[in-house]
């Protein structure tokens, strides 16, 4: 599925679209700033598969700090059969640049 930028992501939030938001950063990063996603650090992603299984057909948006780790997480989930996984391009840095510190 096509990745999305922070503007499209904000539109999805504003429209109350249904999606699962996963943050694949580390806990200390999440504590500093987060987008209210479910914290599932990339290094432990496989241990969350049972929790994610019910959402295999739902839209899942994954983000990290810059978009690199979330791209890896997207690849992993896609290979595991998840159909609608999207990477938030630019991650938290892009979000902060656009909406927090423009």
For 68-92, the pLDDT digits (tens) are 999 999 999 999 999 999 999 999 9
Mean pLDDT of 13-20: 98
- Positive/negative CA dihedral, 36, 49, 61, 32: positive
pLDDT at residue 17 tops 90:
yes
Q: How far apart are CA 65 and CA 73, in angstroms?
A: 13
Q: Where are the domains of the chain?
A: 6-100
Residue 64 is a catalytic residue? yes
Cut 0.95: pTM above it: yes
Q: How far apart are CA 66 and CA 99, in angstroms?
A: 15
Q: In what order do the strands lie in the sheet with 84-87?
A: 38-39, 20-23, 59-63, 84-87
Percent of the chain whose predicted confidence (pLDDT) is above 90: 97
Domain 6-100 has CATH 2.40.50.140: no
Q: Which of 64, 71, 77, 92 is catalytic?
A: 64
Encoded tokens for 30: 């999440």
């Amino acid at each position: 599925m096509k990745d999305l930028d922070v503007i499209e992501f904000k539109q999805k939030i504003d429209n109350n679209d249904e999606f699962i938001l996963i943050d694949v950063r580390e806990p200390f990063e999440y504590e500093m700033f987060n987008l209210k996603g479910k914290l599932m650090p990339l290094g432990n992603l496989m241990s969350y598969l049972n929790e994610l299984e019910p959402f295999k057909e739902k839209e899942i948006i994954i983000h990290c700090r810059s978009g690199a780790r979330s791209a890896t997480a997207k690849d992993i989930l896609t290979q595991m059969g998840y159909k609608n996984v999207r990477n938030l391009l630019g991650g938290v840095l892009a979000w902060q640049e656009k909406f927090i510190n423009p």
